[in-house]
Amino acid sequence: MSKPAPTVTPNTWAFLRDPMIAPTGFREYDARWKYPDDINLPGITALGLGLGTQMHWRGIRPEIAVGNDYRDYSLSIKNALMLGLMQAGIRVRDIGPALSPMAYFSQFHLDAPAVAMVTASHNPNGWTGIKMGFERPLTHGPEEMRELRDIVLNGEGVARAGGGYEFVDGVREAYLDDLVGDFKMTRKLKVVCATGNGTASAFAPDLFRRLGVEVVDSHTELDYTFPHYNPNPEAMEMLHDMAAAVQASGADFALGFDGDGDRCGVVDDTGEEIFADKMGVILARDLAKAHPGATFVADVKSTGLFASDPELRKHGAKADYWKTGHSHMKRRVKELGALAGFEKSGHYFLAEPIGRGYDCGMRVAVEICKLMDRNPDLKMSDLRKALPTTYATPTMSPHCPDLEKYEALERIVGRLVAMRDAGDQIAGRAITEIVTVNGARVILDNGGWGLVRASSNTPNLVVVCESPQSEAEMRAIFADIDAVIRTEQSVGDYDQTI
């Protein structure tokens, strides 16, 4: 295999013939490119050859389950990927259009030692990518991604005999059967099902009806142009639309899913958004009763309540704050034998005996419905109001180029550490600790905090702040953190702000 070229020039002879791959697409825990700006179809085939070669290097049985999301170009991407995998001597088991968690499920269902899912997740149209993994329920982390990048970019992919192709039907039905089991609601529940016209449209409404839930459809027709908004339940645009649907229909709550169905967002009966970390605390409270002493992993963007909530402490729950990112979190949950992991972005990792440890928005939806069934006299807003009050920003992402964001972050972290060492304050409070496992989570003397980290998937930084005291203090924390961020000229505008 020849080395792929790093630049892509559409409408040229070479573009149709030679692999071209922008190196920046190999990220911490998956691969994402703008297509066809940063990768061409021969480049995707080279990626498949590299992934197959990596399987041989690591002694993985040469068989892989492969799926694709509903975007109009994802099938072309998948076909090019499968061509490279077969060229590497891998037997491909094509599960057809899928959610990412359906692809993860297929590893168990088909006893496949590897998985590759073609999806840009919640990124807008124009993006493509691959989520892949060998050791179920895990997906590639930084070490595996570096190895794969080097195989592909150094032209080290090796063609072998033995490749083959099989289309496997019925995985969607088996996935839904597995999610529902023999459970049926005993209380009446009316739920807004919001899928933003993404792939989850082919799953979530059916799932709710199987559970015995009355469904209020919200943009549940499959449409890969995403005519209303990009399906991303962390974006306020989608959450506000879900809130309006709840208020118009009188539903008990709304559940929204991202483009590949591995994340879930929640709006309660009053139209109030419950950010996923707070929903995680609500679920953890319920789970801790049945599993006292359980460990819960939360990502560094998440609320401090996992550590401080009196209800969780009462049941001996232990909190572990870890790196943001679905691969990091899955691995940490498995390493610690945690019962569950929660990310502010809406990834939930429910381990045995609830789930299989991978992130699945549909599994979360089922568990939320079961939670409401176990509490027939409570509304979703009652569960939200029962939590200690904190004031948190949404996840905010100022633009910063991929090639500059890590160096910029390093300097920002250095300035924040220097502020702590100098006894400087944030929002008029002393800095008691800075957690640097993933960027900098600056913790104040009253438990308030502000986070800045680099996005693993897109050209931007990520900022989240929380105060246990007031909205004014939360805004002050953000203002002081942002003032440090603004010392970097490469950092641009936010995608959304408070």
Residue length, the chain?
Answer: 498
State the pLDDT at residue 364.
98
Return the bridge partners of 299, or none. 322
| Cα–Cα distance for residue pair 120/259, rounded to 1 Å | 8
Say yes or no to pLDDT of 308 above 90: no
State the pLDDT at residue 26.
95
Say yes or no to pLDDT of 141 above 90: yes
Alpha carbon of 443 to those of 7, 430, 466: distances in Å?
A: 42, 9, 10
State the pLDDT at residue 1.
72
| Average pLDDT value over all residues in the chain | 96
Measuring CA to CA, which residue among 181, 184, 175 is closest to residue 212? 184
For CA atoms 473, 476, 480, 481, the dihedral sign is positive
User: Which residues, 6 or more positions from 472, have their beta carbon under 8 angstroms from its beta carbon?
Assistant: none
Could you report the per-residue pLDDT of 247-304, keeping only the tens digit for each? 999 999 999 999 999 999 999 999 999 989 999 999 999 999 999 999 999 999 999 8
Six-digit token string for 313: 């402490």
Say yes or no to pLDDT of 457 above 90: no
State the pLDDT at residue 274.
94
Q: What is the dihedral of CA 336, 340, 343, 345, to 10 degrees?
A: 140
The runs of H, that is alpha helices, within 212-325 are 236-249, 276-290, 305-308, 310-314
What SS3 state is found at 197? coil
Could you report the per-residue pLDDT of 375-405, keeping only the tens digit for each? 999 999 999 999 999 999 988 999 999 999 9
State the pLDDT at residue 361.
97
* Average pLDDT of the residues in 354-371: 97
For CA atoms 372, 296, 466, 459, the dihedral sign is negative
State the pLDDT at residue 458.
85
What SS3 state is found at 6? coil
* Average pLDDT of the residues in 154-163: 98
Six-digit token string for 262: 């591995």
| Cα–Cα distance for residue pair 186/33, rounded to 1 Å | 45
Q: What is the dihedral of CA 17, 18, 23, 27, to 10 degrees?
A: 50
State the chain's maximal CA–CA distance in angstroms: 67
Return the bridge partners of 450, or none. 442, 465
Give φ, ψ of 10 to 5 degrees: -60, 160
State the pLDDT at residue 50.
98
Over its C-alpha atoms, the chain yields an Rg (Å, rounded) of 22
* Average pLDDT of the residues in 461-478: 97
State the pLDDT at residue 239.
94
Residue 232 confidence class, pLDDT cut points 50, 70, 90: very high
State the pLDDT at residue 407.
97
State the pLDDT at residue 206.
98
Say yes or no to pLDDT of 456 above 90: no
- H or E segment and range at residue 435: strand 429-435
Amino acid at 280: G
What SS3 state is found at 163? coil
What SS3 state is found at 180? helix
State the pLDDT at residue 101.
98
Say yes or no to pLDDT of 182 above 90: yes
* Average pLDDT of the residues in 348-368: 97
Could you report the per-residue pLDDT of 321-332, keeping only the tens digit for each? 999 989 999 999
Could you report the per-residue pLDDT of 405-449, keeping only the tens digit for each? 999 999 999 999 999 999 999 999 999 999 999 999 999 999 899
Could you report the per-residue pLDDT of 77-98, keeping only the tens digit for each? 999 999 999 999 999 999 999 9
| Cα–Cα distance for residue pair 266/257, rounded to 1 Å | 9
Measuring CA to CA, which residue among 176, 161, 241, 178 is closest to residue 209? 176
Say yes or no to pLDDT of 28 above 90: no
| Cα–Cα distance for residue pair 442/444, rounded to 1 Å | 7
